[in-house]
Amino acid sequence: MAIHHMKMPKLGESVTEGTITKWLVGPGDFVNKYDPIAEVLTDKVTADIPSSFTGVIKEIFAKEDETMAVDEIICTIETEEEAKEVEEKQKYDTITGNNEINKENRQRYSPAVLKLSQLHAIDLAKLKGTGKGGRITRKDVQAVIDKKLTPAEAYKQPEIQENKQKQTNSKELIIPVDGIRQAIAANMVKTKQEVPHAWMMIEADVTNLVRYRDSIKSSFKKAEGYNITYFSFFVKAVARALKEFPEMNAMWAGDHIVQKKEINISIAVAAGDKLFVPVIKNTDEKSIKGIAREIKGLAEKARSGNLRMEDVSGGTFTVNNTGSFGSIQSMGIINYPQAAILQVESIVKRPVIIDGMIAVRDMVNLCLSLDHRVLDGLICGRFMQRVKELVETASEETMSIY
* Residues with catalytic function: 372, 376
Cα torsion angle, 166, 171, 175, 181, sign: negative
Q: In Å, what is the CA distance from 3 to each residue of 32, 80, 383?
A: 15, 11, 55
Report which DSSP code applies to 65: T
335 phi and psi angles, rounded to 5 deg: -80, 90
Tell me the residue length of the chain. Answer: 402
Report which DSSP code applies to 348: E
197-205 vs 265-267, strand pairing mode: unpaired
Cα torsion angle, 325, 326, 327, 328, sign: positive
Q: In Å, what is the CA distance from 103 to each residue of 61, 132, 170?
A: 13, 9, 39
First to last CA, the chain: 62
